Amino acid sequence: MFWQKQEAVEEEMTDLAQQVAAEAEGLYRSGKMHCAEAVMAAVKNGFAPELPDEVVRMAAGFGGGSASGCICGAVAGGTMALGLVSKGDKKQVTAYTRELHDWFKAKYGVTCCKILTANGKKNCPTFTVAAAGKVAELLMRER
């Protein structure tokens, strides 16, 4: 009985994370949003749809490495979404943020936009999808 319930919870987590990731990809590929905005919007829609769409504008300056090329916009958007949606305290949000950054760095080698896009932005949809899905997984822990 316990294992069946646990499997159902894990399946729900996977489904929601996949839904958020797919929405982020669609928003990014539409050309209407950059990476940070797409992650922020998809996470907001999946976890806090009652919030106004205008909150996504907070991510407007974070695409392309915050205009300096430093932090990947998908990671920045995910970090903002964690703070926006998380019901945890600041310590929990900080822990999730650290986990997101560590996970992204382990997966892609760096979180620096300049390095990630040195050969063009062809992988940006992948980064956007991955960050959105990971943020959704982290936020599912609070449910």
47-70 pLDDT, tens digit each: 999 999 999 999 999 988 888 888
Amino acid found at 9: V
The whole domain housing 59 covers 2-140
Please tell me the distance from the alpha carbon of residue 46 to that of residue 85, in angstroms, as a whole number. 10
- Nearest 5°: phi and psi at 112? -85, 120
Q: What is the pLDDT of residue 75?
A: 97
Predicted confidence band of residue 89 (pLDDT cuts 50, 70, 90): confident
Among candidate residues 55, 65, 51, 56, the one with its CA nearest the CA of residue 33: 56
CB 38 within 8 A of CB 135: no
Q: Global pTM?
A: 0.89
Task: Please tell me the total count of domains within the chain.
Answer: 1
